Amino acid sequence: MRRFILLSIGVIAYLSSCTKVIEIDLNDEENQRLIVDAIYSTFPQEHEVKLSLSANYYSTDQPTPISGASVVVSDGINNVTFLDAGNGLYKSPANAAAIANRDYTLTINYDGKEYTGVNYCDTVPNLDTVILVPNYIDGSTTEIDDYTIRFSTQELAGFGDYYAWRIFVNGVLRTDTITELLSQSDEFLPDATYLFQVELTDIDNVQSGDTIMIAQNAISEETYDAYFAILFQTEFRGGIFDSPPSNVPSNLSEGALGIFSVSGESRNFAIVP
Protein backbone atom coordinates (compact mmCIF):
# COMPACT_ATOMS: atom_id res chain seq x y z
CA MET A 1 0.00 0.00 0.00
CA ARG A 2 2.81 2.41 0.81
CA ARG A 3 4.38 1.76 -2.60
CA PHE A 4 1.05 2.57 -4.35
CA ILE A 5 0.67 5.82 -2.37
CA LEU A 6 4.20 6.90 -3.17
CA LEU A 7 3.64 6.12 -6.85
CA SER A 8 0.42 8.15 -6.90
CA ILE A 9 2.13 11.11 -5.28
CA GLY A 10 4.89 10.88 -7.86
CA VAL A 11 2.40 10.86 -10.76
CA ILE A 12 0.56 13.89 -9.35
CA ALA A 13 3.83 15.76 -8.94
CA TYR A 14 4.79 14.89 -12.53
CA LEU A 15 1.48 16.07 -13.93
CA SER A 16 1.67 19.26 -11.89
CA SER A 17 5.09 20.00 -13.27
CA CYS A 18 3.65 19.84 -16.80
CA THR A 19 1.02 22.49 -16.16
CA LYS A 20 1.39 25.55 -18.39
CA VAL A 21 -0.32 28.87 -17.79
CA ILE A 22 -1.96 30.20 -20.97
CA GLU A 23 -2.90 33.86 -21.04
CA ILE A 24 -5.93 34.65 -23.20
CA ASP A 25 -6.69 38.10 -24.55
CA LEU A 26 -10.06 38.91 -22.96
CA ASN A 27 -10.48 42.39 -24.39
CA ASP A 28 -8.69 44.63 -21.93
CA GLU A 29 -8.96 48.35 -22.57
CA GLU A 30 -5.99 48.39 -24.96
CA ASN A 31 -7.74 45.76 -27.09
CA GLN A 32 -11.15 47.43 -27.36
CA ARG A 33 -12.96 47.16 -30.69
CA LEU A 34 -15.08 49.74 -32.45
CA ILE A 35 -18.71 48.60 -32.69
CA VAL A 36 -20.72 49.97 -35.64
CA ASP A 37 -24.46 49.89 -36.23
CA ALA A 38 -25.06 51.70 -39.52
CA ILE A 39 -28.15 51.60 -41.74
CA TYR A 40 -28.60 53.71 -44.87
CA SER A 41 -31.53 53.35 -47.28
CA THR A 42 -33.34 54.83 -50.26
CA PHE A 43 -36.12 56.25 -48.05
CA PRO A 44 -35.52 59.99 -47.50
CA GLN A 45 -35.00 60.48 -43.78
CA GLU A 46 -32.49 61.35 -41.05
CA HIS A 47 -30.37 58.20 -41.05
CA GLU A 48 -28.34 57.13 -38.02
CA VAL A 49 -24.98 55.53 -37.31
CA LYS A 50 -24.28 54.27 -33.78
CA LEU A 51 -20.69 53.97 -32.58
CA SER A 52 -19.35 52.47 -29.36
CA LEU A 53 -16.35 50.65 -27.90
CA SER A 54 -16.54 47.04 -26.76
CA ALA A 55 -16.54 46.30 -23.03
CA ASN A 56 -14.06 44.15 -21.10
CA TYR A 57 -14.84 40.42 -21.20
CA TYR A 58 -15.55 40.26 -17.46
CA SER A 59 -17.39 43.57 -17.34
CA THR A 60 -21.16 43.81 -16.95
CA ASP A 61 -21.12 47.33 -18.39
CA GLN A 62 -22.66 48.20 -21.74
CA PRO A 63 -20.37 49.21 -24.64
CA THR A 64 -19.14 52.80 -24.27
CA PRO A 65 -20.63 55.31 -26.75
CA ILE A 66 -17.96 57.41 -28.45
CA SER A 67 -17.94 61.03 -29.61
CA GLY A 68 -15.66 63.04 -31.83
CA ALA A 69 -15.62 60.64 -34.76
CA SER A 70 -15.85 61.65 -38.41
CA VAL A 71 -18.57 59.68 -40.24
CA VAL A 72 -19.18 59.89 -44.01
CA VAL A 73 -21.25 57.74 -46.41
CA SER A 74 -20.40 58.01 -50.10
CA ASP A 75 -21.37 56.45 -53.43
CA GLY A 76 -18.23 57.84 -55.05
CA ILE A 77 -20.14 60.86 -56.33
CA ASN A 78 -22.11 62.21 -53.40
CA ASN A 79 -20.77 62.42 -49.84
CA VAL A 80 -23.15 62.52 -46.88
CA THR A 81 -21.65 63.66 -43.56
CA PHE A 82 -23.18 62.40 -40.32
CA LEU A 83 -22.98 64.85 -37.43
CA ASP A 84 -22.31 63.91 -33.82
CA ALA A 85 -25.64 64.04 -31.93
CA GLY A 86 -24.19 62.77 -28.64
CA ASN A 87 -24.24 59.43 -26.82
CA GLY A 88 -22.55 57.64 -29.72
CA LEU A 89 -25.25 58.64 -32.21
CA TYR A 90 -24.40 60.26 -35.56
CA LYS A 91 -27.14 61.63 -37.83
CA SER A 92 -27.32 62.46 -41.51
CA PRO A 93 -29.06 65.58 -42.84
CA ALA A 94 -32.84 65.28 -43.05
CA ASN A 95 -34.11 63.64 -46.26
CA ALA A 96 -30.76 62.02 -47.07
CA ALA A 97 -31.28 58.95 -49.24
CA ALA A 98 -29.34 56.25 -51.06
CA ILE A 99 -29.81 55.49 -54.77
CA ALA A 100 -30.57 51.90 -55.74
CA ASN A 101 -28.03 49.80 -57.64
CA ARG A 102 -24.99 51.63 -56.31
CA ASP A 103 -22.14 50.65 -54.00
CA TYR A 104 -21.79 52.74 -50.85
CA THR A 105 -18.76 53.20 -48.62
CA LEU A 106 -18.90 54.11 -44.94
CA THR A 107 -15.76 55.86 -43.69
CA ILE A 108 -15.20 56.41 -39.97
CA ASN A 109 -12.17 58.25 -38.61
CA TYR A 110 -11.69 57.86 -34.87
CA ASP A 111 -8.71 58.04 -32.54
CA GLY A 112 -6.20 58.21 -35.39
CA LYS A 113 -7.56 55.19 -37.26
CA GLU A 114 -9.73 54.93 -40.37
CA TYR A 115 -12.44 52.27 -40.63
CA THR A 116 -14.32 51.51 -43.84
CA GLY A 117 -17.22 49.33 -44.91
CA VAL A 118 -18.82 48.71 -48.31
CA ASN A 119 -22.35 47.57 -49.12
CA TYR A 120 -24.50 47.43 -52.25
CA CYS A 121 -27.95 49.05 -52.39
CA ASP A 122 -30.48 46.60 -53.83
CA THR A 123 -33.77 47.45 -55.53
CA VAL A 124 -36.81 46.96 -53.30
CA PRO A 125 -40.30 45.94 -54.49
CA ASN A 126 -43.15 48.27 -53.64
CA LEU A 127 -44.96 47.49 -50.39
CA ASP A 128 -48.49 47.73 -51.74
CA THR A 129 -50.77 47.28 -48.74
CA VAL A 130 -50.67 46.75 -44.98
CA ILE A 131 -53.76 45.49 -43.13
CA LEU A 132 -54.46 44.71 -39.48
CA VAL A 133 -56.51 41.64 -38.55
CA PRO A 134 -57.91 41.71 -34.98
CA ASN A 135 -57.35 38.74 -32.67
CA TYR A 136 -60.01 38.51 -29.98
CA ILE A 137 -59.56 37.42 -26.39
CA ASP A 138 -60.74 33.83 -25.91
CA GLY A 139 -64.50 33.70 -25.54
CA SER A 140 -65.03 37.30 -26.60
CA THR A 141 -66.35 38.76 -29.82
CA THR A 142 -65.62 42.37 -28.90
CA GLU A 143 -62.44 42.49 -26.75
CA ILE A 144 -59.33 42.58 -28.93
CA ASP A 145 -56.09 41.05 -27.62
CA ASP A 146 -53.77 42.12 -30.46
CA TYR A 147 -53.58 42.48 -34.23
CA THR A 148 -51.96 40.36 -36.92
CA ILE A 149 -50.07 42.45 -39.47
CA ARG A 150 -50.45 41.30 -43.08
CA PHE A 151 -48.83 42.83 -46.16
CA SER A 152 -48.93 42.45 -49.93
CA THR A 153 -45.93 42.91 -52.21
CA GLN A 154 -44.42 41.72 -55.49
CA GLU A 155 -41.49 39.32 -55.06
CA LEU A 156 -38.62 40.25 -57.35
CA ALA A 157 -37.76 37.98 -60.28
CA GLY A 158 -34.79 35.68 -59.81
CA PHE A 159 -33.29 34.29 -56.63
CA GLY A 160 -30.74 35.75 -54.24
CA ASP A 161 -32.94 38.48 -52.77
CA TYR A 162 -33.10 39.17 -49.04
CA TYR A 163 -35.66 41.21 -47.15
CA ALA A 164 -36.13 42.72 -43.70
CA TRP A 165 -39.18 44.37 -42.17
CA ARG A 166 -39.31 46.94 -39.38
CA ILE A 167 -42.41 48.10 -37.52
CA PHE A 168 -43.12 51.68 -36.42
CA VAL A 169 -45.96 52.72 -34.13
CA ASN A 170 -46.82 56.41 -34.43
CA GLY A 171 -43.41 57.03 -35.98
CA VAL A 172 -41.47 55.26 -33.21
CA LEU A 173 -39.52 52.14 -34.14
CA ARG A 174 -41.03 49.20 -32.27
CA THR A 175 -38.61 46.53 -33.56
CA ASP A 176 -35.35 48.19 -32.52
CA THR A 177 -33.21 45.10 -31.87
CA ILE A 178 -31.89 42.26 -34.05
CA THR A 179 -34.05 39.77 -32.12
CA GLU A 180 -37.17 41.71 -33.12
CA LEU A 181 -36.15 42.39 -36.71
CA LEU A 182 -38.04 40.22 -39.20
CA SER A 183 -35.91 39.03 -42.13
CA GLN A 184 -36.31 36.49 -44.91
CA SER A 185 -34.47 35.04 -47.89
CA ASP A 186 -36.39 34.43 -51.12
CA GLU A 187 -35.03 30.88 -51.21
CA PHE A 188 -38.38 29.52 -50.06
CA LEU A 189 -40.59 32.14 -51.74
CA PRO A 190 -42.28 31.65 -55.12
CA ASP A 191 -40.17 33.41 -57.73
CA ALA A 192 -41.68 36.64 -59.06
CA THR A 193 -45.02 35.81 -57.45
CA TYR A 194 -47.35 38.42 -56.03
CA LEU A 195 -47.45 37.83 -52.28
CA PHE A 196 -50.98 38.63 -51.15
CA GLN A 197 -51.74 39.40 -47.50
CA VAL A 198 -48.74 37.53 -46.11
CA GLU A 199 -48.73 37.29 -42.31
CA LEU A 200 -45.83 39.27 -40.86
CA THR A 201 -46.29 39.17 -37.08
CA ASP A 202 -48.67 40.06 -34.25
CA ILE A 203 -48.53 43.43 -32.55
CA ASP A 204 -49.97 44.41 -29.17
CA ASN A 205 -50.14 47.48 -26.93
CA VAL A 206 -51.71 49.64 -29.63
CA GLN A 207 -54.84 51.76 -29.47
CA SER A 208 -57.52 52.92 -31.89
CA GLY A 209 -56.14 55.65 -34.13
CA ASP A 210 -52.50 54.53 -33.86
CA THR A 211 -50.53 54.42 -37.12
CA ILE A 212 -48.74 51.13 -37.81
CA MET A 213 -46.08 51.68 -40.46
CA ILE A 214 -44.07 48.88 -42.04
CA ALA A 215 -40.68 49.47 -43.68
CA GLN A 216 -39.71 46.81 -46.20
CA ASN A 217 -35.97 46.69 -46.92
CA ALA A 218 -34.10 44.81 -49.64
CA ILE A 219 -30.93 43.93 -47.75
CA SER A 220 -27.69 42.38 -49.00
CA GLU A 221 -26.75 38.75 -48.43
CA GLU A 222 -23.93 39.73 -46.07
CA THR A 223 -26.35 41.81 -43.97
CA TYR A 224 -28.76 38.88 -43.84
CA ASP A 225 -25.94 36.50 -42.83
CA ALA A 226 -24.74 38.90 -40.12
CA TYR A 227 -28.26 39.18 -38.64
CA PHE A 228 -28.63 35.41 -38.43
CA ALA A 229 -25.12 34.92 -37.06
CA ILE A 230 -25.98 37.28 -34.21
CA LEU A 231 -29.17 35.34 -33.50
CA PHE A 232 -27.33 32.01 -33.55
CA GLN A 233 -24.80 33.35 -31.05
CA THR A 234 -27.45 34.80 -28.73
CA GLU A 235 -31.08 33.69 -29.11
CA PHE A 236 -30.86 30.31 -30.88
CA ARG A 237 -28.82 28.62 -28.15
CA GLY A 238 -29.35 26.19 -25.32
CA GLY A 239 -29.38 22.83 -27.10
CA ILE A 240 -26.81 20.05 -27.15
CA PHE A 241 -26.21 20.57 -30.87
CA ASP A 242 -25.30 24.26 -30.62
CA SER A 243 -22.41 25.29 -32.83
CA PRO A 244 -19.32 26.58 -31.01
CA PRO A 245 -19.16 30.37 -30.45
CA SER A 246 -17.55 32.28 -33.30
CA ASN A 247 -17.11 35.83 -34.52
CA VAL A 248 -20.10 37.41 -36.22
CA PRO A 249 -19.27 38.31 -39.86
CA SER A 250 -18.65 41.99 -40.50
CA ASN A 251 -18.04 44.10 -43.61
CA LEU A 252 -15.95 46.62 -41.67
CA SER A 253 -12.16 47.01 -41.79
CA GLU A 254 -9.54 47.27 -39.03
CA GLY A 255 -11.21 44.64 -36.83
CA ALA A 256 -14.32 46.72 -36.20
CA LEU A 257 -17.45 44.82 -35.21
CA GLY A 258 -20.97 45.24 -36.53
CA ILE A 259 -22.42 45.79 -39.99
CA PHE A 260 -22.86 48.61 -42.50
CA SER A 261 -26.14 47.96 -44.30
CA VAL A 262 -27.46 49.83 -47.35
CA SER A 263 -30.88 48.90 -48.74
CA GLY A 264 -33.78 49.83 -50.91
CA GLU A 265 -36.73 50.74 -48.68
CA SER A 266 -40.46 50.91 -49.31
CA ARG A 267 -43.06 51.87 -46.70
CA ASN A 268 -46.78 51.62 -46.17
CA PHE A 269 -49.10 51.88 -43.19
CA ALA A 270 -52.43 51.01 -41.62
CA ILE A 271 -54.51 52.73 -38.95
CA VAL A 272 -55.70 50.78 -35.90
CA PRO A 273 -59.54 50.77 -36.07
Share of the chain above pLDDT 70, in %: 78
- Position 5 pLDDT exceeds 80: no
93 and 168 housed in the same domain: no
CATH number of the domain at 186, please: 2.60.40
- Position 15 pLDDT exceeds 90: no
pLDDT of residue 25: 55
pLDDT band at 56 (very low <50, low <70, confident <90, very high): low
pLDDT band at 67 (very low <50, low <70, confident <90, very high): very high
Residues 169-190: what's their mean pLDDT?
78
**Could you give the maximum distance between any two Cα atoms of the chain, in Å?**
87
142 and 169 housed in the same domain: yes
Residue 160 lies inside a defined structural domain of this protein: yes
Residue 154 lies inside a defined structural domain of this protein: yes
pLDDT of residue 186: 73
Residues 102-130: what's their mean pLDDT?
97
89 and 201 housed in the same domain: no
The residues pairing with 218 across neighbouring beta strands, listed in sequence order, are 163, 264
pLDDT band at 228 (very low <50, low <70, confident <90, very high): confident
**Rounded to the nearest 5°, which phi and psi values hold at 13?**
-65, -40
19 CB-near residues (< 8 Å, 6+ apart): none
- Position 269 pLDDT exceeds 50: yes
114 and 133 housed in the same domain: no
152 and 267 housed in the same domain: yes
Whether the CB-CB separation of 161 and 218 falls below 8 Å is answered with yes
Residue 4 lies inside a defined structural domain of this protein: no
CA atoms 256, 97, 45, 164: torsion sign: negative
Instruction: Single out the residue of 75, 69, 164, 77 nearest to residue 111, CA to CA.
Output: 69
97 and 168 housed in the same domain: no
- Position 61 pLDDT exceeds 70: no
Among the three residues 120, 148, 163, which one is the final residue of a domain in this structure? Answer: 120
Residue 105 lies inside a defined structural domain of this protein: yes
Residues 176-188: what's their mean pLDDT?
71
Residue 23 lies inside a defined structural domain of this protein: no
Distance CA 59, CA 155 (A): 45
Among the three residues 71, 102, 120, which one is the final residue of a domain in this structure? Answer: 120
267 and 146 housed in the same domain: yes
The model carries a pTM of 0.79
Mean pLDDT across the chain: 84
105 and 163 housed in the same domain: no
Q: By residue range, what is the domain housing residue 163?
A: 127-245+263-271
How many Cα atoms within 13 Å fall on the side-chain side of residue 10?
6
205 and 116 housed in the same domain: no
- Which segments of 18-75 does DSSP mark as H helices, in order? none
